[in-house]
Amino acid sequence: AGPFSHRHSRMIAVRPAAPDNVLHGPKQLSQEALLAVQRSGITSARRLLCMSELELVEALDLYVSDVRAVVAAAAAVCAPPPSTAQQLMREAPLPTGLAALDGHLGGGLRPGSVTEIVGASAVGKTELCLAVAAEALVTGHARGAGVVYVDTECGFKATRLLQLVGRSLQRRGVQADPHELLYRVTVLAADEWEGYEQCLSRIRALFQDDTRLATGLLVVDSIAAPARAHFERARLSERQRLLSSHAALFKSLAEEEGLVVLVTNQVQGSSGSDDGGLRELSRVGEPEDEMSACLGTSWAHCVNVRLVLHSAEQPPAAVAATLAPPRRQLRVAKANFCSAASFDLDATLEGLVQAAG
């Protein structure tokens, strides 16, 4: 089975209700309890589960035993269906196209998780996102796999994706029309915060309603750009609150749909002066990193895997050679299933490739 195929088919058949879904009256609740919920104005399981038992007694005007039944019903709405160990084994990772990295990660980026690529401007974050998108299209072409790409930095280039898809098809010996595969990519573009929030509000509906795409990959490139541009220093707490809600959306989509969610993040100087003077940010790399990942530690805790991409020093002989490609280093900085590791890459016309030697 291709990446995500088992979980996607399972989720189409038995899609668990999202935490924000309206409560539709589970059968195990009494009519009195259902009417109490309707009168209270509580319309989502998320809101209900965030309230204390005392608050619910007052809001619903019910006995404690009835309130506990309502909470249990709301929890049942949100709970995902159980999976067997064998089902989880079938959820194949999504390869990145970098064999050494994929081997270290156990096959690639894992469905049901959020992976972050951190790096400075022009270091190759978008190139890596496009490469992963190409791999998703090619490895999942037989089941009609699609990609949703949220572009907030005007970095998405369809012509570059077409090139990478063509090269992936050739490398894997797959017979498919690269132009046809690009019809399976949905691009949502926004270069400011309001437009970005509208894109996010459309994403869940897109996954629920668009049956054309067995979507296996969601890319957000980048999450930092609209947030940093919109929120000044006095509003950093508001920014962190909204980013936490976005992280919850990404995580719920990853888990419910069996997606790989891939986001990019920017870096800033250790003084944090361009981001409101934040000092709690996570250090992301080694030699050149008097730099830190943007958006703070609260955001850092939301990602399952953090990959750090930065320019790497090259040997003098390579620097002397005028045709030597720019060298990059990709570091696995955070992952709960494998150790930290670094990989040297060359930025070539073929894309980011494993460095020779």
Contacts by residues 274-283 (CB-CB < 8 Å, ≥ 24 positions apart):
274/228, 275/228, 276/231, 276/232, 276/233, 276/236, 277/233, 278/236
Instruction: Say if CB 182 and CB 165 are below 8 A apart.
Output: yes
Q: Which of the pair, 29 or 272, is modelled with greater confidence? A: 29
Rg (CA), the chain: 22
pLDDT of 28 over the 80 cut: no
The tens digit of pLDDT for each residue in 290-312 reads: 467 887 777 888 899 999 999 88
Q: What is the pTM of this model?
A: 0.72
Tokens read off for 354 = 């494993």
Pairing of strands 214-221, 260-265: parallel
Mean pLDDT rounded to a whole number for the chain: 80
Q: Which of the pair, 72 or 126, is modelled with greater confidence? A: 126
Tokens read off for 230 = 């919109």
Instruction: Tell me the sheet residues that pair with 309.
Output: 119, 330
* Rounded CA separation 206/215 (Å): 10
Cis ω for the linkage preceding 311 (within 30 of 0): no
∠ CA 175-179-181 to the nearest 5 degrees? 65
